[in-house]
Amino acid sequence: MDLFHDSPMFNGVRQMLGAFAKQSIRPIATKHDLEESMPWDLMKMAQGFGLTQTAVLDGRKKLTGQDEDPDPKKPKSQSRISVVGSEELAYGCAGICLALGGSGLAASPVSRMGTTEQKEEFRKLLAGLDEKGHIKVAAMALSEPSTGSDISGLSTSARKDGDHWIIRGSKQWITNGQSAAVFVVWAQTEPAAGRAGVRGFIVARGTPGLIPGKKETKLGIRASETAQVHFEDVRVHTDMMLGAGSQGGLSDTKKMLDSTRPVVAAQAVGIARAAYDYLLDRVRGGTTRGTPLASHQHIMFELAEMNMEITASRLLAHRAAWLADHHQENVAEASMAKAHAARTAQHVTTRAMVLLGEEALQPGHPVEKWYRDAKIYDIFEGTGQIQRRIIAKHLTGTNPV
Ligand SMILES: Cc1cc2nc3c(=O)[nH]c(=O)nc-3n(C[C@H](O)[C@H](O)[C@H](O)COP(=O)(O)OP(=O)(O)OC[C@H]3O[C@@H](n4cnc5c(N)ncnc54)[C@H](O)[C@@H]3O)c2cc1C
């Protein structure tokens, strides 16, 4: 059950990406998880049918065959396409889903705050293949070793020097951080202005002083690369600073998360559904000591609970995406979707591990992988506590202390 089941466009995306997930993603998911490698060949293939690294900027016509209405006041479909599609891709493998769409994190602020020239530059830097023959990807570098949730305390600085900015600092946990051809890096331009002084800059790979750092070894989503990135007095032309005047500061950075959180929530739904389907498949037709598994109340109550949670999480993600597409505020709804779906993914995969027993402890077992993949959804794009803070502030207007 979902909110967009009567739309041929969203159904088309669901069917197409659902088939791609089953036929092309699932068979290679274990290999890339165990090897901790990006699925470069698959990424190149997916680019061919519309899963491009600049889709957030260019729209989804290649995927859906339809143009967005150019009237900016008319409802859009981008957020809903992304939630419907992301659930399917993450059903195949959440790490591969992030490898396919990770550049969207960087494309999102460029789309929101970039000038026509900056968008062109971003597209240009992502065009073609790199020296290894891989498609080019982008990274969004906000988090730092000592600043994750509270991004107002960024220590990366940008100092003006004529018609350039000089960026200095280190970023941590950056998706595509080692391979990216282009980075959107956030730095403090005016410490006295606090949050308002934080600005984003488009920086090309190869710019002197930009040094991709250590790749992290992670518990889950291991097909998506995460790395440190260092900026050692990197000179960036003023033309490459995102936003102008009062725009482009930290509040705009936060708005960007309101559009990505429903998509992240949908990915968590995809993981939960994968584990649920695996169990349901096992229960149907299975027996224990001669009794059908489906006749055991304790097993069927678990599956009923999982089904309820998955459906509720999906509906929350769809509501948040619908609001975004209809140009309505969705701060609390995006946080509810993200927090609820993260909890669902963890609950469903944990219970699936318990119900399957020892077999699910084997490395390479799909449920063991989904259990590991689920945890990250409670951490990135704002932890579970941060989502609850946002929802709580929405209730009373003040941040809980
Ligand atoms: C796989 C992965 C990919 C990532 N990709 C990117 C990326 O591409 N770009 C990027 O910029 N970042 C990225 N991140 C970073 C991610 O966004 C941060 O890890 C996240 O924001 C949490 O920050 P932190 O880890 O510093 O935790 P902290 O902020 O140090 O939080 C630690 C704990 O304290 C709690 N806490 C913090 N503040 C409060 C508060 N006010 N009230 C209650 N509890 C609080 C948190 O919930 C958490 O439990 C990624 C992280 C991971 C793991």
- Which residue in 227, 224, 203 sits closest to 215, CA to CA? 227
pLDDT bucket at 2, cuts 50 / 70 / 90: confident
| Residue 21 within a domain | yes
pLDDT bucket at 250, cuts 50 / 70 / 90: low
- Judgement on whether residues 209 and 298 belong to the same structural domain of the protein: no
- Judgement on whether residues 41 and 147 belong to the same structural domain of the protein: no
- Judgement on whether residues 109 and 182 belong to the same structural domain of the protein: no
- Judgement on whether residues 260 and 324 belong to the same structural domain of the protein: yes
- Is 362 strand, coil or helix? coil
- Judgement on whether residues 274 and 372 belong to the same structural domain of the protein: yes
- Judgement on whether residues 258 and 220 belong to the same structural domain of the protein: no
Token pair recorded at residue 217:
């070894």
Token pair recorded at residue 81:
């396409």
Q: How far apart are CA 372 and CA 150, in angstroms?
A: 26
Domain residues for the domain of 29 are: 8-113
Q: What is the pLDDT of residue 248?
A: 61
pLDDT bucket at 253, cuts 50 / 70 / 90: low
The active-site residue out of 144, 302, 368, 381 is: 381
Report the pLDDT averaged over residues 83-109.
96
Residue 227: which CATH number? Answer: 2.40.110.10
Count of beta carbons in the 10 Å neighbourhood of residue 217:
8
pLDDT digits (tens, 9 = 90+) for 199-237: 999 999 999 999 999 999 999 999 999 999 999 999 999
Q: For ligand 1, atom 6, which residue shows the shortest CA distance?
A: 174
Residue 103: which CATH number? Answer: 1.10.540.10
Q: pLDDT over 70 for what percent of the chain?
A: 97
| Residue 2 within a domain | no
- Judgement on whether residues 262 and 226 belong to the same structural domain of the protein: no
From 195, 214, 240, the end of a domain falls on 240
CA quadruple 178, 180, 182, 183: dihedral positive or negative?
negative
| Residue 1 within a domain | no
| Residue 119 within a domain | no
204 Cα: distance to centroid of ligand 1 (angstroms): 25
- Which residue in 41, 36, 20 sits closest to 91, CA to CA? 20
Token pair recorded at residue 183:
């980075």
pLDDT digits (tens, 9 = 90+) for 266-290: 999 999 999 999 999 999 988 888 8
pLDDT at 1 over 80: no
Q: pLDDT over 90 for what percent of the chain?
A: 77
Single-letter amino acid, residue 80: R
pLDDT at 106 over 90: yes
As a whole number, the mean pLDDT across the chain is 93
From 185, 213, 240, the end of a domain falls on 240
pLDDT digits (tens, 9 = 90+) for 331-374: 999 999 999 999 999 999 999 999 999 999 998 899 999 999 99
pLDDT bucket at 112, cuts 50 / 70 / 90: confident
| Residue 375 within a domain | yes
- Judgement on whether residues 267 and 390 belong to the same structural domain of the protein: yes
| Residue 401 within a domain | no
The residues lining ligand 1, judged by C-beta closer than 6 Å to any ligand atom, are: 105, 140-143, 148-150, 173-175, 218, 221, 226, 376, 379-380, 382-383, 385-386, 389
For a ligand 1 pocket test, name from 379, 388, 390, 391 the mutation site with the most ligand atoms within 8 angstroms of its C-beta: 379
- Judgement on whether residues 109 and 128 belong to the same structural domain of the protein: no
Catalytic annotation on 120?
no
Element (H, E) at 58: helix 55-58
296 Cα: distance to centroid of ligand 1 (angstroms): 41
Domain count, the chain: 3
DSSP letters for 135-164: BP-EEEE--BTTBSS-GGG---EEEEETTE
| Residue 3 within a domain | no
383 Cα: distance to centroid of ligand 1 (angstroms): 6
pLDDT digits (tens, 9 = 90+) for 153-208: 899 999 999 999 999 999 999 999 999 999 999 999 998 888 888 999 999 999 99
Q: How far apart are CA 399 and CA 389, in angstroms?
A: 7
212 Cα: distance to centroid of ligand 1 (angstroms): 20
Ligand 1 atom having least distance to the Cα of 105: 8
- Judgement on whether residues 103 and 135 belong to the same structural domain of the protein: no
From 199, 214, 240, the end of a domain falls on 240
Higher pLDDT, 396 or 153: 396
Q: What is the pLDDT of residue 249?
A: 66
| Residue 118 within a domain | no
- Judgement on whether residues 92 and 145 belong to the same structural domain of the protein: no
Helices (H), ranges, 284-330: 297-325
- Judgement on whether residues 227 and 142 belong to the same structural domain of the protein: yes
